[in-house]
Structure 1
């Protein structure tokens, strides 16, 4: 008599559960990586698992478990898995939409599904409208996009700098109901397989849904597929049917604008328009629940009112991957990300600034690219100023020069906990200089709206 298993859907799992068994397909498999830290050396790899409902989770294995299961897990195969542990996912590094991540150890059970009906997981999308892609530029979070194909380029051969390898690339341009277009770069098999399919049917303006795209700042804003991206042509979904209806009825005759062209060079790293979602500082600080469910984004116009000179303003970074490095034994610096020693490193900003507007003030976190625009020099250059003067006068002057200058900021708002107290974390995602002609036009429009509302 065949054993009946009780299968738990991924959506039901949590860290406080007892025994469970899941039935999942491997939809992404990472490489085996080695690492070195204060506790020693080891190896690690991870897989992304998807159940028949389309729910995903990332599972990570270290050392003995990694060696035990690396060959066992094969892309596309289905497995029963039990005796794993779950913890809250690190949102900074997670690559799938799940509140938890799984760890498998050498005692975990992984059994390939044989002689039983398997499944093809439903691909679940969380579409971001093209005109709302700005805040994701150069971020870790991957996005899903749906659009009508406007053009498809021939295949190009691109030589990668990192390993001198030549890979095929194809660009497609898609549009959606926001009347914006964006270029999506397909690489490798995506370029030669589904990319060719799209080229062959491009005269019919197919709808394409793409999962897991990286948002970059090439030409203002662009999208790029990664190895785990999923491309679905003419999907049978409500979103696709709605988009097709819009395009056939009015979209094909509408003037469309590239999303990247709406971003000025000074604000390409994360802004849509600096005059969209404009609020005062008090709107953010007086609403402590903002961002509790997911990060929210706003634009503000404010002044840098204070930069604390004795804060830790930068970190030592790898010149290759920009991740934090530590001093190596003997000399040089060790990069965990690249797994190698380097003789030299660079400094990258990670600091806090106080900003003020007419409604109030707040402390904002700011990272390297945005900090360089605010300070007016690189972290290495500022460190040189600090080191050259015995009294640090040039360093102090440089910081003062950066204060009481107006800027337009695009910020994200998320909650964080410090000393068991929940607080807001407001992070600067983009910085732009104030264009007074555009600013005046914006203020006139706001005044007109106020008059109409009375």
Structure 2
């Protein structure tokens, strides 16, 4: 047997293999029983011809041979077990993976001529739906943040990226490289990518040859073929996955105006704001200002001198579920996520909205099923209609799938008027239910305000759920959104309402 083998040559026939490889990715996998404890140290390696393989080091061996490993360095691996790669999402295309055990040896070595293939980028064109990309394999992508490829980032991943987005400008584009991203396609819709805990690695505007080469490529062929949009800044995935989110029906909210925070699964069926869905806002207090030509403009409420014009959204929407209806107030952050454009961009493309809501907003919002987070104490009665302020929302395909799996489970279930889960009778009168829902919807529409023109607050200080502190929202501010899929705005809201029977987890 040769002193060292290529990764393509190893198999499960023995444990005496020796390979030389560069460590591409190194990450800790938490224990299944205790997420605060180390379960294993995971690695991705490539050999001198660029072939890759995944390797696993169990937690008990970490202190002996794993704690000093560093990404990018070269190592000799000896004496390991080769097994079939049965992972659900695979970091490599190798049919095998390496399991290190008590006899394994890892030793660093130096070789200036050993190649470095830290990335294996997939072109966006390869992710087109017609190419049917294989979602089993994690991929690397690089792009300039804009709008072509939808990318969903969770938790610390988006937190690492947000500072770059908030301070970006046209002269210095935000270049993002994502290693080991998951391919996601919902039915026949466009493909997007998302991070996968804990293997995904996001790198932004690095000063290395990879990023320099990409920037040079942009300057030569700046056609938008390499643009990418990133999302989402709503960190709710963990709340759903860990069962922390408390779901209630609209009927429950209307009957219990308590101080607790709840999630509601509802569909937007109408926009109650007839005009002025965006406004000129003070950067400090977010209150409405009268638009004038001069800048800087001093806010008459807090005295802040605004160096530039900031525009913010404000929408009242009618939502329904299987138990009733309510009006939800959406502030700037939530609106921008749903619409896919900042208020500044809408202002630039549509002028003002004093006469009617732009169709692009109606198309993006109406008949959209959304998970809303509201606080019961935000309840207000405005011209006879229940009104709540939305603090967070989500409609990303992955979140909806997770919600359906964990919180609903059984499609043959519904909720009673108190938000408790009950079984649906197989011979229930569908026509009667539809008529009842339609009456609730029409009654709610009659009660809703034809015009809402309230300021965000009565004082200088504002609530977190009301204001996103502008996020440096300028006319060239990037869009952060969770999904670009729009539900047909011509869908009958009553049919949409009936088609989706929600299930709410009963509070113990």
Normalised by the length of structure 2, the TM-score is: 0.37
Higher strand share goes to which structure?
1
Structure with larger Rg: 2
**Structure with more contact order per residue of length (Cα contacts < 8 Å, sep ≥ 6):** 2
